[in-house]
Structure 1
Amino acid sequence: MQIFPLAVLPGTRFRRRRRELGLRCEAHPPYTVTATPSFSPEDFLLAYDYAETRLDTVFFPLPDLEVCWRQGAGRDFRKAADLRVRLGEIECVAKLVLNRVRPEEEIRRLARRLTQPYQVLVGPGLRDFGHLVRTLRTTTAENPFTPFEVVFFEPAELPRTSEFLNVLNLRRPHFLDGDLRYLFPQPGNRAVLFTLVSADRRARFRGDMQRQVYWWQGRRLPSLQELAELGDLDGVLIDSPVPFEAVCAWQDAVGPSAAEEFHIGFGEAALQARWLLRTCPDEYVGTVTGWKVD
């Protein structure tokens, strides 16, 4: 089931009569209606919340959990490389990896070849958040309309996401700021998602457009019971040092029931692609999940 907020489109008779009808709407795309004579902005939020509860669904979900960072058996983030995809004759960067301070000219060159959307993966070894700020300024200057996700892997301290939002060169209001207005009670950023990947089970990254994912690196794969015990978090990234074939067998045996209950991702790119194509076959194609490293 999908739901689309009422919009008042330019050039329509409905829009010309909006003041007569008492309609308030956003001035920018997608021109979402925010109030009527009988429905306040708070009433809209309550109505969506009530409908989600009654129908046991989510009308405005966050993006799927897709934070793979490596290809093959290598597990040292310091050696991780950008993940790329080939779209036709063009090779694009889908995941820009910051595991060290990279030359600004290199970042500028890669920013011109980013996919839409894209991810910036921040490794545990990057302590210079100033470099991340400069990188985000560059990527958003080159891609002012493109939504993206910043993924922090085991950072030394919790990221202060508001500081990053303040330096972006995104065009605001972004289309998603209006389209996903009712994702959270307060209006604001909906175009940039921040994800924390950590082995800390304490829920501590819970603001708007923030999610916290448990980094499962145990020597065996989790059971359904163990996944349920992590239910206070927003998902689990499975990154265990077990053979590729064993993970495939787990996906085949446990995957169908696990995917219904939990948000699950895999650290290895081929395993992540296999999982998405198996659990969401109508939403993904092999072309866009065919990540490759340099």
Structure 2
Amino acid sequence: MFKAGAERLGIAQPPLSRAIGRLERRMSVQLFERTSRRVGLTAAGAVFLAECRKVLTAVDTAVSRAQRSGRPHRLTVAALRGTGSGLPAGVLRSYRRRPGAADVDVVFARDQVDFVRNGSADFALTCGHEGLEGVEFTELAQERTVALLPVDHFRAAKSAISSADLASEGIFRPDWPEGTLDEIIDQVAMGAMIVMVGASATDRIGTAVVAVPVTDVPLTQLVLTWGPGIPAATRNAFVRTAKNVTAKHVSAAGSSEDSARRTVRTTRWRPR
């Protein structure tokens, strides 16, 4: 362990061993168990390691936030890859048209909330309230939850579907898969998976995928999160823009979803 640690630090092993020994004497606690066969953390060492990682994360966050505060009137928004023609893009376009809008940078991340939490981003648009500890947030809208199915699936012509129906499908993925929204829609179209999403995603599905409302799951909450240090006027303008755009987007998505479902039923059941 010490040899590998010394290599990562770019120093020789003896100085590292002496430094750890001095640290243990100063703390009056043994951090490592040393035998002729192995070196491992003691219980105290494991606790110290976990707490040190928290400190380092906090330092990284402080540096990121300080650097952003030194660039006045500029925002960073975290987004999922593959959402360039969806709701986040609509919010950004509308915000940038506002008089006095701040310059906006976009960073792509799978877990956008973590980017807000660690100071890498100012805002993120997410679904649901889980994992929002340490950030401010507001609910933008609620929307129906729909299942995305291949157009030739025998349930695609139904007006609604239950979670039990979905659970019986071998290709149903209850957890959101890895990949962009476009990649996941392609997988659905090719019959490789079935997933649940908020209805606002239905403007992206094309003609090979069908959105069917799920009857017995809660509405999906669209949530805007943000971190500290954003000027109040800038923050409020961005939040207002996000709420206005989201309300219109969700309303339009519901209409397009109903239209798409009617089209599928007509296509599948047309007499020959």
TM class, shorter-length: under 0.3
Question: TM-score if structure 2 supplies the norm length?
Answer: 0.25
Question: TM-score if structure 1 supplies the norm length?
Answer: 0.23
Name the one with the larger helix percent.
2
Flag the structure with more relative contact order, 1 or 2, with Cα contacts below 8 A and sequence separation at least 6: 2
